[in-house]
A and B are shown apart, each in its own frame.
Chain A
Amino acid sequence: MKLCMFGLSHQTVPIEIREQFSFGTDAIIDFLQNWNQKFGAFETVLVSTCNRTELYVASAEGELPENDQILRFLLDQQQGKNETAGSDSPVPKEITRYFRILEDQDVVSHLFSVISSLESMVLGEPQILSQIKQAYQLAADNGTTGPITHSVFQSALKTAKRIAAETEIFHHRVSIPSVAVVDFALQLFEQLTTKKIMVLGAGEMAEETLKYLTDYGAKSITVINRSPERAQKLADAWHGAVVPWENRIDVLAQADVVIAATGAAEPVITLNDYRSIAGKRQNRPLFMLDICVPRNIEAAIGRLPNVYLYSIDDLAKVCQKNRERRDQEIPKAQKIIAQETERFLQEIRRRDTTDIIRQLRDGWNQIKENEEYRLFNRIPDCDPKTKEEIRYAFDRLVNKLLHPPMESLRDVSQTGGSGKFLEAVKRMFRL
């Protein structure tokens, strides 16, 4: 088995270079089809996300094409030169220096790390799993996968699942809106379907928070913004209503959740504003999210009973703690990756050695049968009991002769370093 990976990622390569090697779905399909024409004998999967572009190439038997050939092909495809013949000019050094090239075992553990999000910009982000699944599916649909890529990508999926189950890498939320909604709002309210959401401001943060709120069932949304046009645009996107800025305190009397995300330089909801409508609220709890600097909601409101006010700092602290909790899980995940890599390699070695053992045994048995046949022809009046004894002796002889090489093959499949040894065995016994 030969396996290699050519990749560039956010860890070492600036965005200007990464975006040059970014492939959309159509571009990946073109790439795979052209690959089939040029390197049809080799398996490949191309993974391209915002943060990384990685080309996995594998061969069940024999050597892979030269690295330079593969990089040249990648460069040509990226430049839109759909020449399956490809140019033979070497790839410029300023390009090759960005590429990380891994081989065999390193490729396996790298893929396992990538799919488990250990190499992601945000540790524990779940999108990478689906992106790799999608990349593999595209390759399979275009006929560029084979037994090696199938095995390694299946094992990668299994590893990601194991890491998700056995560590807390995917458990803790690390974005401000997700922490606000899941870690706080849903600890206050059982469900959001009947809750009235009031959004002050129509910026990105407001929209992002609304996305999470609606994901968890929020339906009744009122958008309030100084610019009615922007308010209307946001309300249309989330099936909400628009209320004029001046009426915000009246809406507050009815609201259960308030998201304040305006660019105002001073509080747009003061303690006095709240006190003026407190009676109308009839002691209903109020969840207030102030995700602006300077703050939009007077902090003193948060000290009132039944008001749960969170500022961006409160949420950022939780995000930071959650990030640290995820980081603490890295050693556990790495241990799992090491175990799964070893298990995968053992499986591959076992497959290789099983095949050689079978060939070896078949070959020697053939010799044994030929010799038995020859011997019994020479002594035709040999009685069945003697024949049986001779057969038994031949079997024992073959088994005893085969025992040491087979033990060595089994050891090799367990301990690794089998490549050259297997090659030597094949050559020695002409398998």
Chain B
Amino acid sequence: MLHGVGITCFTASYFIVFCLELIQRKTRKAFSHFLIFVISFLGWIAHTAYIGHHFFLQNDHLVTGVSGWFFVLGWILMLTCILLQIFYPKTSWNLFLLPLVFLTIAAGAGTKNAVFPEKTTALFVRAFHGGSLMLTVLAMFIGFIAGLMYFLQLYQLKQRKISVRIFLPSLEWLQQVNRLMIRFSVLFLGLGILSGVYISHVVRLTGDPVSAFSDPMILGALILFFVLASALLFSSTSFFSDGRRVALLTVVGFLFLVIVLLAGLFCSQAHWYLMSAPVIPADSPVVSGKPETGSIPTSEPAAEQRGRTDDSLNPGIDSQSEGRP
């Protein structure tokens, strides 16, 4: 039954929630609050089913696959949105967070599903690497949104026009969240880079003599890490007022997110050990879990498919070593 759950199901639910959220800014009915919550929760359940079926049951490269990585990121973002709605029901979270959820879904649907060398590192290490980077982006998303909300609130307070339609948290809270999330982001990025260096090191041991630091992804991530860490340190100096501090962190966060999304969309093969690995499009039957005939796959063909996927997606340590000088 789960194979029938497609991207359209949960994206449509989220879109309805977004539209209802816009409409209910004018009506503010308790029922529409409840309806929005129920539809967003149902959408999230469909999202869960989609990820579960297409990435866990059909393939086991959930975190390490770039397409799945974006879908899971969107899933966690939506969960965060639902939890925020429960704990801060007055705030218009859906208006701010749903566009980012749509972005992750679009990125997930449009990304080729490159995967990491499975045979060379433990699942834990790969999951840790992918998870750290995911938390980096998630924290950055929330920090960035908190920054945007901060400026909207700042504008309202300075212009003495507090909107009764879009309720925002206090300036103090938004500033704290913005800073905390950027800190988390730097921390998780550091962990992601360390685990990435380790994976690269292991791959090198299996036959490739190239240094981990010549990997463009690792180098790029290191540069981002230093830029983020410097911005964070710089913003802590007394030169910055609260507003300037949030502005700096939000702008840096925005640039970081743009780079990450572009890297995910266009450079998912930039790891040196993936450069010559075969790529499976996100909408291929293997990645999306859709059997070519349209029928529900039995466990055996699925296993066969999985086996085929593993073979073709495993970087192909051999092909790498063959392909590189």
Bound-complex Cα distance A161 to B130 (A)? 51
| Pairwise interchain contact B160-A189, C-beta atoms closer than 8 A | no
Q: Which residues of A contact B30 (CB under 8 A)?
A: 165
Inter-chain residue pair count (beta carbon < 8 A): 51
| Pairwise interchain contact B241-A308, C-beta atoms closer than 8 A | no
List the 7 closest A-B pairs by CB distance, nearest first: A283-B241, A190-B173, A190-B170, A190-B172, A314-B160, A305-B241, A188-B171
Q: Is A89 close to B, CB under 8 A?
A: no
Shortest Cβ gap from B249 to chain A (Å): 15
B residues 8-38 in Cβ contact with A at 8 Å: 28-30
| Pairwise interchain contact A306-B160, C-beta atoms closer than 8 A | no
| Pairwise interchain contact B171-A318, C-beta atoms closer than 8 A | no
Shortest Cβ gap from B35 to chain A (Å): 15
One of B50-58, B135-143, B150-158, B224-232 at the interface: B150-158
| Pairwise interchain contact A308-B158, C-beta atoms closer than 8 A | yes
| Pairwise interchain contact A318-B160, C-beta atoms closer than 8 A | yes
| Pairwise interchain contact B238-A282, C-beta atoms closer than 8 A | yes
Q: Which residues of B contact A171 (CB under 8 A)?
A: 164
Q: Is B240 close to A, CB under 8 A?
A: yes
Supposing A283-B238, A283-B240, A306-B241 touch, asked if A189 and B172 sit within 8 A by C-beta, the answer is: yes
Bound-complex Cα distance A187 to B152 (A)? 12
Bound-complex Cα distance A190 to B241 (A)? 18
The interface bits of chain A over 163-177 (1 if a CB of B lies within 8 angstroms of the residue's CB, else 0) are 001101001100000
Bound-complex Cα distance A188 to B150 (A)? 10
Bound-complex Cα distance A187 to B157 (A)? 8
Shortest Cβ gap from B191 to chain A (Å): 30
Bound-complex Cα distance A319 to B158 (A)? 17
Bound-complex Cα distance A308 to B158 (A)? 7
Shortest Cβ gap from A217 to chain B (Å): 13
The interface bits of chain A over 95-116 (1 if a CB of B lies within 8 angstroms of the residue's CB, else 0) are 0000000000000000000000
- Known pairs A190-B169, A285-B172, A318-B162. 14 more at Cβ < 8 A? A168-B28, A187-B156, A187-B168, A188-B171, A189-B171, A190-B170, A190-B176, A283-B240, A285-B242, A305-B244, A308-B157, A314-B160, A317-B160, A325-B164
13 contacts between A and B (CB under 8 A): A171-B164, A184-B160, A187-B170, A188-B172, A189-B171, A189-B172, A190-B170, A190-B176, A283-B240, A285-B242, A306-B242, A308-B157, A325-B164
Q: Is B243 close to A, CB under 8 A?
A: yes
Q: Which residues of A contact B171 (CB under 8 A)?
A: 187-189, 285
Shortest Cβ gap from A307 to chain B (Å): 10
Q: Which residues of A contact B28 (CB under 8 A)?
A: 168
Q: Which residues of A contact B160 (CB under 8 A)?
A: 184, 310, 314, 317-318
The interface bits of chain A over 135-168 (1 if a CB of B lies within 8 angstroms of the residue's CB, else 0) are 0000000000000000000000000000001101
B residues 242-263 in Cβ contact with A at 8 Å: 242-244
Bound-complex Cα distance A305 to B173 (A)? 18
CB-nearest residue of chain B to A256:
B172
Bound-complex Cα distance A389 to B50 (A)? 68
Partner of B164, one of A172, A282, A283, A314: A172
| Pairwise interchain contact A187-B153, C-beta atoms closer than 8 A | yes
CB-nearest residue of chain A to B158:
A308
Bound-complex Cα distance A168 to B176 (A)? 32
The interface bits of chain B over 104-128 (1 if a CB of A lies within 8 angstroms of the residue's CB, else 0) are 0000000000000000000000000
Q: Which residues of B contact A282 (CB under 8 A)?
A: 238
Best-surrounded residue of A171, A172, A283, A325 (most CB of chain B within 10 A): A283
Supposing A166-B29, A285-B171 touch, asked if A187 and B241 sit within 8 A by C-beta, the answer is: no
CB-nearest residue of chain B to A279:
B238
Q: Is A183 close to B, CB under 8 A?
A: yes
Q: Is A186 close to B, CB under 8 A?
A: yes
| Pairwise interchain contact A283-B242, C-beta atoms closer than 8 A | yes
CB-nearest residue of chain B to A186:
B170
Bound-complex Cα distance A183 to B161 (A)? 10
CB-nearest residue of chain A to B168:
A187
A residues 261-289 in Cβ contact with B at 8 Å: 282-283, 285
CB-nearest residue of chain A to B153:
A187
| Pairwise interchain contact B157-A188, C-beta atoms closer than 8 A | yes
Shortest Cβ gap from A405 to chain B (Å): 42
B residues 191-206 in Cβ contact with A at 8 Å: none
A residues 301-337 in Cβ contact with B at 8 Å: 305-306, 308, 310, 314, 317-318, 325
Best-surrounded residue of B160, B164, B170, B243 (most CB of chain A within 10 A): B160
Bound-complex Cα distance A317 to B161 (A)? 10
CB-nearest residue of chain A to B28:
A168
Bound-complex Cα distance A172 to B167 (A)? 13
Bound-complex Cα distance A283 to B28 (A)? 37
Best-surrounded residue of A184, A186, A187, A317 (most CB of chain B within 10 A): A187
Supposing A283-B238, A285-B171, A285-B242 touch, asked if A183 and B29 sit within 8 A by C-beta, the answer is: no
Bound-complex Cα distance A172 to B160 (A)? 15
CB-nearest residue of chain A to B172:
A190
A residues 165-206 in Cβ contact with B at 8 Å: 165-166, 168, 171-172, 183-184, 186-190
Shortest Cβ gap from B274 to chain A (Å): 45
Q: Which residues of A contact B162 (CB under 8 A)?
A: 183-184, 187, 318
Q: Which residues of B contact A325 (CB under 8 A)?
A: 164
